Amino acid sequence: MGFRGVRVLELHDEHGAHFHVITNRRYKIKTVLAIGERYGFGRTHVQWVKNVGGGIAYVCKYLSKPRSPCLKGVRLWAAFGKIERTRVSDIITDSPFVRILREAMGSPSPDELRGEPAGSPIRRYRRSFIKAMPIAWERYLSSFDSEYKLRQILWQRRRFQGQCELSSQWFGRMPEVEEE
């Protein structure tokens, strides 16, 4: 039929596997239903995606759902039609936090990944994701809250002096400290 797009697998407890599909062309519902009947599809629902961002959000919603244990190792999405080979690593996310995290890790910026010239040269030290996360959060939160770092230092001092209690829900039961 000469179209291309992306399909995402979703598994429901009540009615099994089904696919969410976005294509680059618009088809009459009769054509889609005929294809479904030919290949044994079940219920079919067609909706016109009027903006690209909405279509991407639609697919991402299903990609971000928790994976059923029976789908371990199964590829949940794939491109079809005349599209170059696509991998998850080909997806470039871009947000202020992602830019800061990439800088903290020593990874290329989204602009560099897309082949655009970067604003400033990036130092190419390599840092693991786990080690880069606290650094990135501090830089990110400090970018719009100038007193963030100072408040964290004050909070830690009070915490270690026993002036505040941590929630047992998040931090577990606090150990009993014997006074000398």
pLDDT tens by residue, 92-125: 888 899 999 999 998 888 888 888 655 555 556 6
Residue 172 in any domain: the answer is no
| CA-wise closest residue to 33 among 44, 23, 49 | 44
Residue 176 in any domain: the answer is no
Where does a domain end: 90, 117, 151? 90
Pick from 48-52, 69-73, 147-151 the range whose average pLDDT is largest.
Answer: 147-151
Residues 74, 42: one domain?
Answer: yes
Specify if 171 maps to a domain: no
List all residues 6 or more positions away from 168 whose beta carbon is below 8 Å from its beta carbon: 174
Check residue 163 and give its pLDDT: 76
20 has a pLDDT exceeding 70: yes
Encode pLDDT of 37-46 as tens digits: 888 877 777 7
Same-domain check for residues 43 and 100:
no
Domain that holds residue 159: 96-165
pTM for this model (two decimals):
0.46
* Domains contained in the chain, number: 2
Q: Given 41, 72, 90, which residue is the final one in a domain?
A: 90
Same domain, 80 and 12: yes
β-pair partners for 7: 21, 78
Mean predicted confidence (pLDDT) in 134-151: 90
Per-residue pLDDT averaged across 116-139, rounded? 76
